[in-house]
Amino acid sequence: MNSNDKLVRKFKDEAVAVYSLEGDQVQPDLRRYVISTRDTRDLMNYPEIINCDFTNLMQNGITNALKGINMLESLSSINSRSVNVYHILRGGLNFNVREALRKGFGYKWHSSSYISSQRILKEGKFEISEDFYRKFRIPDKATIYTADIVASGVSLNHGIEYIYHYMRNHDLQLKNMIFITIGCIETERILSRWHDIFKENFEAYERTIIVYVEGRFVLTDHETPLNNCLFHTDLLKNYKLGALLSPEFEQSQFDRMIIGLEACAIYDGGKKGFEPVNHIQDVLKFWDKQLLLATSKNVSLWDEYNARFPLDMYFEDKTHFKNGNPQILKSKKEDFWIGLSRGEYHKLFQKFCRLWSDERIEASQQPESFRQICEKKIQYLQSLIEEEE
């Protein structure tokens, strides 16, 4: 499901790039896409974007994503009276799919449903708690849109299972499901299983569409080779561990050094949108641990950066610091991306070179290099918290 997957560009304009995830997946009516927009890149790259700013950027990004996917799937032709937006509380509220459908497709009659879901770690396994609130009114032959951040996938599976039983118990047909996520491959493992169940039990069922925002990330586990991470929680951008990023998102990693060093592609979306102070405190805790790591183990900036965002493809030989070029980058990236022009690889390589000059590469290998980054980030985060007080 992931070893041979590639991103194949299907559509791109100034607002959105749309890629089809193509590989060994054998369910023809289960379509997988990766989208990239300026707004979603910003909200993911800068964890200091919080609260309404965060949700507004997300809504703008999802609106443009839906317009792009519509070029391939003709979603706007579906009658809005048959569309239901299924909110998995509370993280799903951040995506504001209900409003995105109105802005993107002009929908007027789409309905909404809600279920609360909070995962907790119990005896080494994640379980669902706080799932008592449910408000459902789903039409027959429904097209259901839902969105959430997916790590372990426990909340997603719980939410889909409830939809299935609701539709069966009310003798309703399900026609399509569109799921939008910042997440990992666990999304596909869950939805591919439910896709088969839907096909078997609903005569009207047509397709399942998975839309990954900016890439399909990789979930940390106890084998993850990082000194500081939250197991089964953090979503990583490391291609060596299985992440598959959009070209636009990868290029944006070189906007600032700090972006590639963050703990997670998104952090806790619920806190980011609805508990901003607690979110910033969580980010600060991560960087406090990073500072301890930098001082106690004398970790360099170069080593920590490459552990989280490997730069191998930008070199002919990274071990010996033999510089690469756009053609070498293209030859290595073509195992992952299809449909990019030579000019785009040249632009990407130049963006890398501006951030990682020869002088900076040399400086980043010095013992104090990572400590300085940590201290500067901590000072900034503390200023945000003090500003709030």
Q: Is residue 339 domain-resident?
A: no
pLDDT for 91: 81
Name the pairing type of β-strands 30-36 and 17-22: antiparallel
**Count of CB atoms within 10 A of residue 318's CB?**
16
DSSP 317: E
In a structure prediction context, what are the per-residue pLDDT tens digits for the chain, which is 389 residues long?
Answer: 456 899 999 999 999 999 999 998 778 899 999 999 999 999 999 999 999 999 999 999 999 999 999 999 999 999 999 999 999 877 888 999 999 999 999 999 999 999 876 545 555 555 445 566 678 889 999 999 999 999 988 889 989 999 999 999 999 999 999 999 999 999 999 999 999 999 999 999 999 999 999 999 999 999 999 999 999 999 999 999 999 999 999 999 999 999 999 999 999 998 999 999 999 999 999 999 999 999 999 999 999 999 999 999 999 999 999 999 999 999 999 999 999 999 999 999 999 999 999 999 999 999 899 999 999 999 999 999 887 55
Q: Is residue 232 domain-resident?
A: no
Q: Which residue from 311, 182, 189 is spatially nearest to 250, judged by alpha carbons?
A: 311
Q: Is residue 226 domain-resident?
A: no
59/96 Cα distance (integer angstroms)? 6
Q: For position 33, which CATH number holds?
A: 3.40.50
CA 157 to chain centre: 18
Task: Kindly state the helix (H) or strand (E) to which residue 86 belongs, with its residue range.
Answer: strand 83-89
Task: Kindly state the helix (H) or strand (E) to which residue 268 belongs, with its residue range.
Answer: none
Length of the chain: 389
pLDDT for 223: 95
Domain that holds residue 105: 6-218
Question: ω into residue 371 within 30 of 0, thus cis?
Answer: no
Q: Is residue 133 domain-resident?
A: yes
pLDDT for 343: 97
Q: Which residue from 208, 238, 244 is spatially nearest to 223, judged by alpha carbons?
A: 238
Number of structural domains found in the chain? 1
Cα angle: 262, vertex 265, 270; to 5 degrees: 110
Q: Is residue 154 domain-resident?
A: yes
Q: Is residue 174 domain-resident?
A: yes
pLDDT for 1: 42
Q: Which residue from 40, 134, 30 is spatially nearest to 87, judged by alpha carbons?
A: 134
73/137 Cα distance (integer angstroms)? 25
Task: Kindly state the helix (H) or strand (E) to which residue 102 belongs, with its residue range.
Answer: helix 97-105
The pTM assigned to this predicted structure is: 0.95
Q: Is residue 99 domain-resident?
A: yes
Q: Is residue 276 domain-resident?
A: no
Assess contact for 245 and 232: CB atoms under 8 A: no
